[in-house]
Amino acid sequence: MAFKIFEFISFIFLTFILLAPIGHAKRSTPSHKTSSPFDFINKLKGCHKGNNTKEIHKLKAYLEKFGYLKYENKTHATDDDFDDILESAIKTYQKNYHIKPSGIVDDETISKMQAPRCGVPDIVNGTNYMHPRNMKHEPGSSNIHTVSHFSFIEGNPRWPSSKTHLTYRFLPNFPPNAMEPVARAFQKWDSSTHFTFARAQTNQNADLVIGFHSGDHGDGSPFDGRGGTLAHAFPPTNGRFHYDADERWSIGAVEGAFDLESIALHEIGHLLGLGHSSVNAAIMYSGIGSGLTKSLHADDIAGIRALYNR
């Protein structure tokens, strides 16, 4: 019992020191009612083709950001017309998230779209689904009963086959207490794949570089304040992985905060070449809720094996 209480106190203490340096940006916001950059989607409840509602251009921007839309004519990208292209993008989104592809902004679609998520697009130019591409399917193989829903990044970028040991380093502004959760995430990928990872010595070059950034930070994928997108990472062999510094971060499951290690597991998947999975329980699913932890799933491991032919 005493040990449990001690554990609990250390946990609270850790959470406090962790949130202190990172979560300062929006301290004045009451924590019980936090707004999200995705809140506008609520106002579009029930919208369908033919509607012309004030916030529709934001829905177009949202779907373009995550890969579902690509207007040739920029006028249509920024107007509030619910046109054929938008309807088709919503249907593709709904198929990816196992929602009936009605093309209507219904409750289920709103609830998925509003969830905090990774900033990496699900697909490219609205042309495909979150399924493996360019893969040889072998119907006679022993995997015939395995339904996998992992995906690769467009063009299947990956590390050269000789490069199985990857080093990582933290940017100078990285909170020291957030390093251990990231190290644990690397350890988990290390023990489940053919990759090995090690932290590079200070001042050494590293394959992977991890940092905290806020708003527009110069890589073409600005963060959006509290809520909305939480983190993103670039495909092989770029190596950059960024946390949104405006989120509330935690070590482990803490109500209203996002678990550093779970998000690191997800972003490392991108660093290795995985795209988003349509399996809810997979770490490569685009959304990760607050107040919970997730771990690697068979679908994630199957994705790495397929990408690297292991």
242 binds, among ligand NAG, Zn ion, none (CB under 5 to 8 A by kind): Zn ion
Contacts of residue 267, Cβ cutoff 8 Å, sequence gap at least 6: 118, 231, 232, 233, 241
* Catalytic, out of 64, 87, 261, 267: 267
Candidates 102-110, 137-145, 152-160, 236-244; binding stretch for Zn ion (CB under 5 A): 236-244
- Residue 51 as a binder of ligand NAG (CB under 6 A): the answer is yes
The sheet with strand 208-213 has its strands ordered as: 196-199, 165-170, 208-213, 240-244, 231-233
- Residue 78 as a binder of ligand NAG (CB under 6 A): the answer is no
Compute how many residues bind ligand NAG; rule: CB under 6 A: 13
- CB-hemisphere CA count at 13 Å for 260? 27
24 is in an annotated binding site: no
* 219 vs 198: CA distance, rounded Å: 25
- Residue 84 as a binder of Zn ion (CB under 5 A): the answer is no
Nearer to ligand NAG, 53 or 156 (CB): 53
- Residue 54 as a binder of ligand NAG (CB under 6 A): the answer is no
Angle at 26 between CA 24 and CA 30, to 5 degrees: 120
Nearer to Zn ion, 166 or 263 (CB): 263
- Residue 242 as a binder of Zn ion (CB under 5 A): the answer is yes
Residue given tokens 């990759």 in the structure block: 195
Compute how many residues bind Zn ion; rule: CB under 5 A: 4
Burial class (CB in 10 A: 0-12, 13-18, 19+), 220: exposed
Angle at 88 between CA 94 and CA 91, to 5 degrees: 15
Pick the binder of Zn ion from 78, 219, 289, 310 (CB under 5 A): 219
Q: Which alpha helices (H) appear in the chain, and where do they start and end? A: 2-22, 56-65, 74-78, 84-96, 107-114, 179-192, 260-272, 298-307
Contact indicator for 65, 39 with CB cutoff of 8 Å: no
- Residue 160 as a binder of ligand NAG (CB under 6 A): the answer is no
- Residue 209 as a binder of ligand NAG (CB under 6 A): the answer is no
Shortest reach from residue 242's CB to Zn ion, in Å: 4
Shortest reach from residue 30's CB to ligand NAG, in Å: 29
213 is in an annotated binding site: no
Map residues 107-146 to x or -, x wherever contact with ligand NAG holds by CB under 6 A: -----------------xx-x-------------------
Does 267 participate in catalysis according to the annotation? yes
Total Cβ atoms within 10 A of residue 140 = 6
Shortest reach from residue 282's CB to Zn ion, in Å: 11
Candidates 13-21, 50-58, 187-195, 274-282; binding stretch for ligand NAG (CB under 6 A): 50-58
* 306 vs 175: CA distance, rounded Å: 35
Nearer to ligand NAG, 79 or 190 (CB): 79
* 45 vs 50: CA distance, rounded Å: 14
Pick the binder of ligand NAG from 8, 46, 135, 165 (CB under 6 A): 46
Contact indicator for 62, 41 with CB cutoff of 8 Å: yes
131 by DSSP, 3-state: which?
coil
Residues of each annotated binding site for Ca(2+): 207, 224-225, 244, 247
Residues serving a catalytic function are 267
User: By the criterion CB under 6 A, which residues form the site for ligand NAG?
Assistant: 46-47, 50-51, 53, 70, 73, 75-76, 124-125, 127, 154
